[in-house]
């Protein structure tokens, strides 16, 4: 099992935890630049942070953790950076999959997969297969993911069902729509965290964050710690969530 920091975990009121936390892991490049390092060094450091945060999510028994690893827009970065991120992604899966499995994590990938190399696609499939019966944290890695793209793909699937006569347009509900998204069967996002001193959604989980609480920090992702993660979770526990209704 993964080691845990008992003092840290004890700070959290387990009854006030979000079910689903999503994270935009931003600021790797800037963190590296100010240190005179290559952007790739920032991404490498970012993977170490990710491991610590996943561990904390496992120890706190969060239901779902979703991280934005690569967006549909990230293909516009220089080839060298895209290649580096792909290698980092496959190294991470290769190196960590057994340990995630031993910790009852169930990995899933959100987004398109067809533009990744066949080797990476295989590794993604293998990881999903290995962990498919696990009952712990649902760990969603958004890779070649865009919220608008996900919604368009869901609309296409629903249109095909209508065309096949299985569904009538009047019966398309929010639930039917949610069931066609990559996150089907998972709770909506309760808390969205973005590191790296930017305050925007960047096409992440547009549907699922409809009633999410937002938590922004200046801390660049490589410096984000389990302590700050717990601060965000505690802050979430203090929010008054009304979902459009009045406070009772």
Burial of 104 (0-12, 13-18, 19+ CB in 10 A): middle
Q: Which of 17, 69, 110, 233 binds ligand FPP (CB under 6 A)?
A: 69
Note whether 25 binds ligand FPP by CB under 6 A: yes
Nearest to ligand FPP of 88, 167 (CB atom): 88
Work out the angle at residue 178's Cα, subtended by the Cα atoms of residues 47 and 206, and round it to the nearest 5 degrees.
50
Give the whole-angstrom CA distance, residue 26 versus residue 31: 10
Q: How far is CA 162 from CA 14, 35, 172, in A?
A: 43, 55, 9
Binding mask 166-205 for ligand FPP (x = CB under 6 A): ------------------------------x---------
- 196 backbone φψ class: left, alpha, beta (φ>0; ψ -120 to 50): left
Nearer to ligand FPP, 60 or 93 (CB): 93
Interface with ligand FPP in residues 89-118 (CB under 6 A): 89, 92
112 vs 161 by CB, closer to ligand FPP = 112
Measured from each CB, the residue nearest to ligand FPP is: 29
Question: Could you tell me which stretch among 28-36, 97-105, 121-129, 236-244 binds ligand FPP (CB under 6 A)?
Answer: 28-36
Interface pick for ligand FPP out of 17, 21, 26, 109 (rule CB under 6 A): 26
Q: Exactly one of 7, 33, 74, 133 is catalytic; name it.
A: 74
Helix %, strand %, coil % of the chain (to 5)? 50, 15, 40
Distances (CA, A) of 110 to 64, 104, 165, 172, 245: 13, 19, 28, 23, 31
**Residue 26 a catalytic site member:** yes
How do 64-71 and 138-145 pair as beta strands?
A: parallel
Exposure on the CB side of residue 247, measured as CA atoms within 13 A: 3
As a whole number of angstroms, the distance between CA 121 and CA 239 comes to 40
Under the binding rule (CB under 6 A), the answer on residue 50 touching ligand FPP is yes
x/- site string to ligand FPP, residues 114 to 153, per CB under 6 A?
---------------------------x------------
**Nearest of 140, 141, 142, 189 to residue 18 by alpha carbon:** 189
| Number of residues in contact with ligand FPP under rule CB under 6 A | 18
Just list the catalytic residues: 26, 74
Residues that bind ligand FPP (CB under 6 A): 25-30, 43, 46-47, 50, 69, 74, 88-89, 92, 141, 196, 221
């Amino acid at each position: 099992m993964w080691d845990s920091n008992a003092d840290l975990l004890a700070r959290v009121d387990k009854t006030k935890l979000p079910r689903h936390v999503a994270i935009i892991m931003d600021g790797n490049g800037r963190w590296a630049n100010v240190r005179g390092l290559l952007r790739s060094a920032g991404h490498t450091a970012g993977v170490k942070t990710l491991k610590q945060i996943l561990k904390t999510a496992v120890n706190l028994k969060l239901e779902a953790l979703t991280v934005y690893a690569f967006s549909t827009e990230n293909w516009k970065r220089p080839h060298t950076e895209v290649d580096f991120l792909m290698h980092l992604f496959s190294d991470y899966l290769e190196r960590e999959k057994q340990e995630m499995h031993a910790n009852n994590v169930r990995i899933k990938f959100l987004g398109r997969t067809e533009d990744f190399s066949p080797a990476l696609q295989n590794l993604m499939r293998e990881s999903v297969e290995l962990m498919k019966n696990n009952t712990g944290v649902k760990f969603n890695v958004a890779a070649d993911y865009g919220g608008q793209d996900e919604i368009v793909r869901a609309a296409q699937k629903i249109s095909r069902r209508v065309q096949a006569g299985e569904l009538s347009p009047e019966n398309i509900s929010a639930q039917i729509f949610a069931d066609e998204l990559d996150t089907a069967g998972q709770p909506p996002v309760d808390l969205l965290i973005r590191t790296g001193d930017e305050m925007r959604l960047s096409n992440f989980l547009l549907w699922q964050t409809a009633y999410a609480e937002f938590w922004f920090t200046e801390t660049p992702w490589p410096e984000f710690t389990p302590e700050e993660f717990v601060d965000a979770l505690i802050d979430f526990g203090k929010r008054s969530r009304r979902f459009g209704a009045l406070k009772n």
